[in-house]
Amino acid sequence: MTTILVIEDDPQTAGEIAAELTRCGYAVDCAADGPTGLAAALAQPWDVLVVDRMLPGLDGLSVIQALRHQGVTTPALVLSALDQVADRITGLRAGGDDYLVKPFALGELSARLEALIRRPIGVGPTMLHVGALALNLVTKSATRGGRALDLLSRECQMLEYLMRRPEQVVTRQMLLEDVFGYRFELKSNLVDVHMGRLRRKLDAPGETPLLSTVRGIGFVLHAPG
Amino acid sequence: MPRAEPGALAWGTLRHNRSLRWGAAVACLLGGSLLAMFGLMYWRSSALLFDTLDRSVLEQLELLGARPPELLPFMITSRMKGGPEVLTRVGLFDPARHPVVGDIGLVPDGLVLDGRVHPVLSPDLPAAHWRAAGRTLPDRQILVVARSANEILEVRQKLVNGAVVGIIPAILLSLAGGAWAGLATERRLRRLNAVAERIIAGDLGARLPARDVGDELDRLCTIVNRMLDRLEEGVGALRGVGENIAHDIRTPLTALRARLERAAGRLGPDTPDAEELALSIGNVDRALSIVTALLRIADIEHVRREAAFAPVDLAAILHETADSFRPVAEEGGLSLTATCDTTALVIGDRQLLVEALVNLVDNAMKFTPAGGHVQLRLCGSPTQPILVVSDTGPGIAPEARAHVFDRFYRADGARSTGGSGLGLSLVAAVARLHRFGVQIGTDTPGCRLTLLCWRGSDEMPG
């Protein structure tokens, strides 16, 4: 069973996070301050850590730095009430693997944790294959079952992002941040419009839909067969 | 206003330099007083010397004139033979002015025989300048006593030479001193200006150079520095408040939002209560997005961010943004085009410039009805690039244009189709950080927002 350690000082937030993650099928443990959290993180191997940035005793970034210093490479998601670009950069530089600003949708949290646990398919291969889909990363040409897909560059980037995370929820925010590079709030249906176009290009009439929408959260690329 | 490079001191600025003018004034004053002092000395000393000389001439005249006439030739010759008074000459002439005895061959021209001393120029005498006095004796003979004034003239010449050697260098020195002081002040002011520019650009940690020894300028710098300390403290405190607000609001909202979301999840989709909850979550998000946007603007405005500045290819971000938003525009029945008339690399924060451009495009699309057109354009020159986002929407009334960059301002009901009303404030904040000018105008019909993308263009008349 996948184990998650949540280091968060606000008992209500910690409780809600733990309840949601338990519901998703993870084994969750909580620590309420920095030193306790650090001790718990060192005490046993975890699959992923959720660390609040502002903690009593020892702040979240120091906890992560201490862990990295001791050679613990467990992926860590930093939760923060600070969302300035500089804060995010320091958060990631301290050894955090992802950064999520409070408050967040629970779906966003679990999608990002899932992404951290599964780690995307690396940058090594020049060809990505998911089911009948194939993407040549050099020529940026994609095919579905041999049928060439005519993709625009943004669509191609989105498809690559999805193909590196097959059968995994990818949120709108993840796409905005990682594909478009927009680390700011945007009230626009930008992602949905691009996703709609990509979907129409992927699925010819009569073919099994490969992209499905997870209501209120994001999208999943399926890899049938 | 163009600024000269530091070090290249233009004459134009020097002419208006107060210290330099003071230096020149002091030099003139010093020169004048030295000249006056010298003149007085010259006048007094030559008067004294002439006085002494004249008295000795008169004494001789008195002395000889009082002798019996028959002894006079003898006395004159004996005086000539043994006397040390080689500087004094005496001549005795008969009534027809023929020399009788003495070492003056001729009664000097123009000498009034009134027993007083007169200056005389006589080619007959070996030196040119003489002081002479003459009188007619009771036996009608003429007695003349003369004495060379050359010594006095020499002394006077030496005085003049001394003055030339002394006063002119003194004047030049004080002029040079004034100029040096002026240039030094000019250079200091330049340094102060440079620091002040940095502070205006948002580097509140910069301080004016002040020495402890302290002239007035140093004291002023110290005071300004203390003021800056207080200001920095205040801004720091404000930032702290911002962070605390962020933390204090976001933490409970996180718990609240999670609870609502889980409750909605338990109820299952498509139940009326779940929809109610989804609405509440939406409201929480909306409230929070306003706080987020405000804090973000404050962050851009008050926290030094020039550290993230690097060359940014404006044409590239223009095309990227257009590629990202063209499908959205087409979905809304709009067309969106991007044209670049120039290439432009500007020094800036790429993330923020993209954010500003996205806000401009998003804003333009929001207010343009279906069938309309949104245009992104990069024009101007590589050194003075101009970004223009124009649309065919209803435009903004002239009286409202000044306010569109105000926080929360929305032109009117027709224009408020959602959003926090902070998009253009953010654009303005990003522009201020880069010291770019923002202009708002009209394309008939429609609205045109212009970003002047070079440092200092914010000082241009809007």
Answer whether residue B381 shows pLDDT above 70.
yes
Answer whether residue B297 shows pLDDT above 90.
no
- Which residues on chain B are in Cβ contact (under 8 Å) with A54? 247
Q: Which residue has the higher pLDDT, B90 or B300?
A: B90
Q: What whole-number distance in Å separates Cα of residue B406 and Cα of residue B340? A: 30
Residue of A nearest to B242 (CA): A82
Interface of A with B (CB under 8 A): 10, 12-13, 15-17, 19-20, 23, 54, 81-86, 101-107, 152-154, 180-190, 193-194, 196-197, 215-216
Interchain contact B267–A (C-beta under 8 A):
no
Question: Between chains, do A103 and B351 touch, taking CB under 8 Å as contact?
Answer: no
- The mean pLDDT value of chain B amounts to 80
Question: Between chains, do B351 and A81 touch, taking CB under 8 Å as contact?
Answer: no
- Which residues on chain B are in Cβ contact (under 8 Å) with A103? 250, 253-254, 256-258, 284, 288
- HSE-CB for B421 with a 13 A CA cutoff: 13
Vertex A141: Cα angle to A139 and A144 (nearest 5): 150
Answer whether residue B164 shows pLDDT above 90.
no
Predicted pLDDT at B292: 76
Interchain contact B419–A (C-beta under 8 A):
yes
Q: What is the pLDDT of residues B254-285, one digit of tens each?
A: 888 888 888 888 887 778 888 888 888 888 88
What's the pLDDT band for B180 if we cut at 50, 70, 90? confident
ipTM: 0.84
Q: Which residue has the higher pLDDT, B140 or B305?
A: B140
Q: What is the pLDDT of residues A205-224, one digit of tens each?
A: 888 899 999 887 899 999 87
The whole-angstrom distance between B426's CA and the closest CA on chain A is: 11
Name which of B325, B428, B376, B296 is nearest A176 in CA terms.
B325
Q: What whole-number distance in Å separates Cα of residue B30 and Cα of residue B44? A: 21
Interchain contact B321–A (C-beta under 8 A):
no
Answer whether residue A44 shows pLDDT above 70.
yes
Q: Which of A52-66, A112-126, B181-195 has the highest mean predicted lDDT (pLDDT)?
A: A52-66
- The mean pLDDT value of chain A amounts to 89
A108, containing H or E segment: helix A106-118
Answer whether residue B23 shows pLDDT above 50.
yes
Question: Between chains, do B247 and A105 touch, taking CB under 8 Å as contact?
Answer: no
DSSP B98-167: -EEEES--SPPTT---SSSEEEEE-TTSSSSEEEEEEEE-TTS-EEEEEEE-HHHHHHHHHHHHHHHHHH
SS3 A153: helix
Answer whether residue B242 shows pLDDT above 60.
yes
Q: What is the pLDDT of residues B406-416, one digit of tens each?
A: 655 544 443 44
Answer whether residue B379 shows pLDDT above 50.
yes
CB-nearest partner of A188 from B293, B303, B362: B362
B436: Cβ contacts below 8 Å, ≥ 6 apart: B430, B451, B452, B453, B454, B455, B457, B458
Question: Between chains, do A181 and B258 touch, taking CB under 8 Å as contact?
Answer: no
Q: What number of C-beta contacts closer than 8 Å exist between A and B?
A: 109
| CA-to-CA separations, A73 to A5, A65, A69, B386, in angstroms, rounded | 14, 10, 9, 47
Predicted pLDDT at A162: 94
Q: What whole-number distance in Å separates Cα of residue A32 and Cα of residue A30? A: 7
Interchain contact B158–A (C-beta under 8 A):
no
Q: Which residue has the higher pLDDT, A54 or B378?
A: B378
- Which residues on chain A are in Cβ contact (under 8 Å) with B260? none
Cβ-based burial of B196 (10 A; exposed 0-12, middle 13-18, buried ≥19): middle
Q: What is the mean pLDDT of residues B300-325?
A: 84
Question: Between chains, do B351 and A190 touch, taking CB under 8 Å as contact?
Answer: no
The β-bridge partners of A114 are none
Vertex A171: Cα angle to A77 and A88 (nearest 5): 40
Interchain contact B354–A (C-beta under 8 A):
yes
Question: Between chains, do A186 and B284 touch, taking CB under 8 Å as contact?
Answer: no
- Which residues on chain B are in Cβ contact (under 8 Å) with A10? 251-252, 254-255
The whole-angstrom distance between A106's CA and the closest CA on chain B is: 6
Q: What is the pLDDT of residues A142-178, one digit of tens each?
A: 999 889 999 999 999 999 999 999 999 999 999 999 9
Question: Between chains, do A106 and B258 touch, taking CB under 8 Å as contact?
Answer: yes
What's the pLDDT band for B8 if we cut at 50, 70, 90? very low
- Which residues on chain B are in Cβ contact (under 8 Å) with A104? 254, 257
Interface test with A, best of B250, B286, B321, B433 (most A CBs within 10 A): B250
Q: What is the pLDDT of residues B95-145, one digit of tens each?
A: 888 888 888 878 877 788 888 888 887 656 555 678 888 888 888 888 888
Question: Between chains, do A13 and B251 touch, taking CB under 8 Å as contact?
Answer: yes
Range from A92-101, A178-187, B79-88, B344-353 carrying the lowest mean pLDDT: B79-88
Question: Between chains, do A197 and B355 touch, taking CB under 8 Å as contact?
Answer: no
Q: Which residue has the higher pLDDT, A107 or B210?
A: A107
